[in-house]
Structure 1
Amino acid sequence: MTEPTYADEARERRVPEPTKRLDRTSFERDRARVLHSAALRRLAAKTQVVGPGTDDFVRNRLTHSLEVAQVARELGKSLGCDPDLVETAALAHDLGHPPFGHNGERALNEAASACGGFEGNAQTLRILARLEPKTFAPDGSSVGLNLTRASLDACVKYPWLRQNAPVPAGSHADGSPRLIRKFGAYDDDLGAFEWLRAGAEGDARCIEAQVMDLSDDIAYCVHDLEDAVVGGRLGLGQIDDDRGSVWDTARDWYVRDATDDSLDAGLARLREMPEWPSASYAGERGDLAVLKSLTSALIGRFAMSARSATRDLYGGSPLTRYAADLVVPSETRTEIAVLKSIVAHYVMRADDRITHLREQRALVQGLVDVARERGPVVLEPLFAADFDAAGDDTARLRVVVDQVASLTDDSALDWSKRLL
């Protein structure tokens, strides 16, 4: 297979920069910028499934992002994508997540209704293209990390605006309906969005974004299952007793049209793997080794399935940008949905979490309220400057949301003790 090739427009930056080192590619520079960003470091103290610090074994948002990056780099490289470009997108994919994970996202979406809502993926673009301090345009406006067009495009999981987003379906863990629309950019980031989408047709995603998205699914369905078993949230043998409820969760959250038969078949295929544990987990070193063998085998199974199907369709030439779509067999998608649904049922929908989730949302809403009222007095200096420069209440609310979304779980709790 020959080396991947990218046109000059893929390497363009919104603000042109001189080449500093000839032995370093544009995409290597992009990866380094994300890796050294404050936004990435903050993910170490943000919830993945359970809060950081509650268990020394479980993933946080940063360790999850590093694992996604490893999967994406290898899968992307095998297809002919630039590995640094794909890894950049994977490292950046969760930068926009607020404190308390998707629960915090839900609270911020409600708090931000007057300024266009909140969505973690749209916030990721806002961080990369505006909020993270690095580069300024000649007019003095921030362009964030000033990543190349191809890298920014690869970070956009949902390449459309809020008004064009599909209507959400299903319900949250507490039974209330889902209201957050999935989209890739806020209206006031339209300039950056239109720039990075130059050359794209409609809602098409570049193959690097598709690789990032699948790698995210693979990493969190596999590793969240491992975390749940080690944390005592579920035993793999108990699934049969609750299978009907688990499949209800699957249809409510992930695969609306899936039948019991198709989900049963997906679980059966997974159980036929030689690495699937035959004994219950007791926490000993051998048990952990069995689980690690399972996670390794599952990641390889899902990634190789997509790689083989994509290569079968497109052949062996490098696949970059809009030259191809990632092919994921339906059986693979079902198996991934099975694992995600197991974790969702036993962890995210567990009764002991519902009250805790409600308290987290109230905390986030309270921080937005007090920051709107007191403004620069309580905001960090860079957000205080944005607040002062905002032209109206809508713009000021967006700045407040930016500030609260930037907080970690711990700093959100500290702010609440100090301000609420």
Structure 2
Amino acid sequence: MHADLRRRRRDDAAEAGWPDLADSPFRADRDRIVASPFFARLGGVTQVVSAAGSGLLHNRLTHSLKVAQVARAISDRLLAEPGAAELIGKLGGLDPDVAEAAAFAHDLGHPPFGHLGEQVLDRVARHRFGLADGFEGNAQTFRILTTTDVRGPSAVGLDLTAAMRAAVLKYPWTRLHWPEPHPRTMPNPPRGAAEPADAPGTGSAKFAAYSTELDDVLQARAPYAGVLEPWQQTIEASVMDTADDIAYAIHDITDFHRIGVLQYAAVATELGQWLAHALELAELDSAELAGQTRRPGRSLERLRRRLHARDSWIVDDDAFADAVARVRTELVDGLLAGGFDGSIEAEQATAAFSARWTSRLVGGMVVLESPTTRSGHVSLRAAQWHEVAVLKFVHRRFVLLRPELALHQRGQASLVTTLVDALDAWLGDRDEQSRLPRRLHDLVELAHAEYGELAVSAPELLVGATGERIEGEDAVRRLARGRAVIDFVSSLTDRQAASLLEALSGRSSQPWSDSFVL
């Protein structure tokens, strides 16, 4: 691995006369990301539910800060192990600054209202605008870093190093076209690479770049040719990905404990019933189990079976049972049993739980020379892997599936859809061309130049949502208009999206004055 190739920026020629605070190119990458307005906006973007009016819930910014903290700790720990450090060198290297910067950047592309907004924008992008790439938060992150942010020397992206760009490719493939053969066709595809069961033919469910940024992907991955498979994460991407899992598993749990959503009785009953009746539950056939999902212990048994189906490379029933028992002891009987009343004692108990689990999971990291397609080169050991799975189950089962959250999210989905429609109508009004928001106008021109270039240089990449070839200037302009609207809406905060829709619909009595939007 040539260090100079990892340090290669997107546009080396543009660096002349551009002052960075740090001499290290990787530290400079980190500084550019943290200084970006796209990073600042994460303070107004939902993590799970809107944090507006509450200092107790994480938003995407505070989540990213904690992921960066964990990524740095993992990097330092792995590099301190002689055996691991030698293997890491063979696999492309690990610089803590790169892993930390990737963690800061990993959620830049998340739209208003988090994953709910992501799903809505993907559906609208494909069905309304015919964009085969749709919308994906990770791919939008890469687009921001390489294209739509203008804080780098060339005014196109941030001009980051190859190592940094490769480190944010959590799913290093495009939705449909790269690499060839595409990982979605593998017998056991990498996580996220398989097509959604309810949308065959649409490409991978998760991916890290749109076709418009494929050149940047190829340049970023060039230093790893012959070292990693095209579909494999770099070491630094794997560290970032695992750190994200750890932060999500722990900090979202403590958030909902603080606001009283995560209740002792319900979680204790689910985990306790599975531990008491694990052998009996294992004997139930799938149909019978599916019909009993409301009965305690059944949802956890379904998780155990799903893990066997997807991740047989690591799943072990004894390790799963040990993980359930540990979560029952430390989360349910240790944290939830005490409740949260805002006292110093309750805050200390919550902080201690978070610190203890973070330390345990970071201490459970291992570097794998030849991992399964379902894992990166950096992974949790079996015990900790099962514990994260159980913690994430608790969060999903007792937070994400609550009907109150579903009600809230249906309203947010309607808001995003209506906002896209209103902006698209504004773009289509010829009498309003001179009064469009300048930023929206610039995004249209940028997307038009990109799709026009693809039409000439790589027409095979220019396809519609149903796979048809896109030809002709009018068709290219329609794609560009759709991508620009999606870029625009996805860069808003929750509050900006709601306020902009109010203004566009005539419900607001105040003039709009947000310079980042207009």
Q: 1:229 to 1:21 in 2, by over 3 A?
A: closer
Q: Which amino acid aligns with 1:387?
A: V
Q: 1:170 to 1:76 in 2, by over 3 A?
A: farther
Matched, 1:7 2:7: no
2: CA distance, partners of 1:394 / 1:84: 37
Share of identical aligned residues, percent?
35
2: CA distance, partners of 1:49 / 1:382: 28
1:263 Cα deviation (Å)? 4.0
2: CA distance, partners of 1:182 / 1:226: 27
C-alpha contact (below 8 Å) 1:96/1:405 kept by paired residues: yes
| Match of residue 287 from structure 1 | 346
Task: Look up the SS of the partner of 2:57 in the other structure.
Answer: coil
| Match of residue 29 from structure 2 | 30
Bigger RCO of structures 1 and 2 (CA < 8 A, at least 6 apart): 1
1:247 Cα deviation (Å)? 2.0
Comparing 402-411 with 328-337, which one deviates more in the overlay? 328-337
Q: What are the equivalent positions in structure 2 for 1:272-283 lying under 5 Å apart?
A: 272=329, 276-277=334-335, 279-283=337-341
2: CA distance, partners of 1:263 / 1:236: 21
Deviations 1:218-243 (A, max 9, x none): 01110000011111111345313234
| Match of residue 148 from structure 1 | 161
Q: Which amino acid aligns with 2:355?
A: S
| Match of residue 353 from structure 1 | 405
1:393 to 475, 478, 487: 478
| Match of residue 268 from structure 1 | 325
2: CA distance, partners of 1:64 / 1:409: 16
Q: 1:234 to 1:54 in 2, by over 3 A?
A: same
Deviations 1:58-104 (A, max 9, x none): 11000000011111012112223322111100000000000000000
1: CA distance, partners of 2:301 / 2:45: 29
Computing the radius of gyration from Cα coordinates, the structure with the larger value is 2
2: CA distance, partners of 1:361 / 1:26: 40
C-alpha contact (below 8 Å) 1:255/1:337 kept by paired residues: no
C-alpha contact (below 8 Å) 2:20/2:28 kept by paired residues: no
2: CA distance, partners of 1:412 / 1:192: 30
Query: Please, what is the CA RMSD of the aligned residues?
Result: 2.9
C-alpha contact (below 8 Å) 1:224/1:343 kept by paired residues: yes
C-alpha contact (below 8 Å) 1:65/1:90 kept by paired residues: yes
Q: Which amino acid aligns with 1:112?
A: A
TM-score, reference length from structure 2: 0.70
1:25 Cα deviation (Å)? 0.4
| Match of residue 214 from structure 1 | 242
2: CA distance, partners of 1:236 / 1:26: 48
Q: Which amino acid aligns with 1:9?
A: L
Q: Which amino acid aligns with 1:205?
A: Q
C-alpha contact (below 8 Å) 1:270/1:276 kept by paired residues: no
Q: What are the equivalent positions in structure 2 for 1:43-62 lying under 5 Å apart?
A: 43-62=42-61
1:83 to 88, 96, 104: 96
Comparing 293-302 with 339-348, which one deviates more in the overlay? 339-348
Q: 1:210 to 1:255 in 2, by over 3 A?
A: farther
2: CA distance, partners of 1:345 / 1:278: 16
| Match of residue 462 from structure 2 | none
1: CA distance, partners of 2:122 / 2:78: 37
C-alpha contact (below 8 Å) 2:5/2:223 kept by paired residues: no
Matched, 1:247 2:300: yes
Q: 1:170 to 1:353 in 2, by over 3 A?
A: farther
Q: Which amino acid aligns with 1:385?
A: D
Matched, 1:72 2:71: yes
Q: What are the equivalent positions in structure 2 for 1:327-338 lying under 5 Å apart?
A: 327-338=379-390
Comparing 52-61 with 67-76, which one deviates more in the overlay? 52-61
Q: 5+ residue gaps in structure 2?
A: 80-93, 177-181, 185-192, 272-296, 370-375, 428-432, 449-475, 506-518
C-alpha contact (below 8 Å) 1:249/1:345 kept by paired residues: no
Task: Look up the SS of the partner of 1:327 in the other structure.
Answer: strand
Q: What are the equivalent positions in structure 2 for 1:165-180 lying under 5 Å apart?
A: 165=184, 166-168=193-195
Q: How many residues align?
A: 393
Task: Look up the SS of the partner of 2:485 in the other structure.
Answer: helix
C-alpha contact (below 8 Å) 1:28/1:84 kept by paired residues: yes
Deviations 1:184-212 (A, max 9, x none): 11111111111111133321211110000
Deviations 1:356-390 (A, max 9, x none): 21111111111111211212677542231231452
Q: 1:255 to 1:412 in 2, by over 3 A?
A: farther
Q: 1:378 to 1:196 in 2, by over 3 A?
A: farther
Comparing 330-339 with 388-397, which one deviates more in the overlay? 388-397
1: CA distance, partners of 2:351 / 2:345: 10
1: CA distance, partners of 2:240 / 2:259: 27
TM-score, reference length from structure 1: 0.85
Matched, 1:226 2:254: yes
Task: Look up the SS of the partner of 2:409 in the other structure.
Answer: helix
Task: Look up the SS of the partner of 1:13 in the other structure.
Answer: coil
C-alpha contact (below 8 Å) 2:235/2:377 kept by paired residues: yes
Q: 1:386 to 1:76 in 2, by over 3 A?
A: same
2: CA distance, partners of 1:170 / 1:373: 33
Matched, 1:130 2:215: no
Task: Look up the SS of the partner of 1:160 in the other structure.
Answer: coil
| Match of residue 320 from structure 1 | none
| Match of residue 321 from structure 1 | none
1:109 Cα deviation (Å)? 0.4
Q: 1:288 to 1:169 in 2, by over 3 A?
A: farther
Task: Look up the SS of the partner of 1:392 in the other structure.
Answer: helix
Q: Which amino acid aligns with 2:47?
A: Q
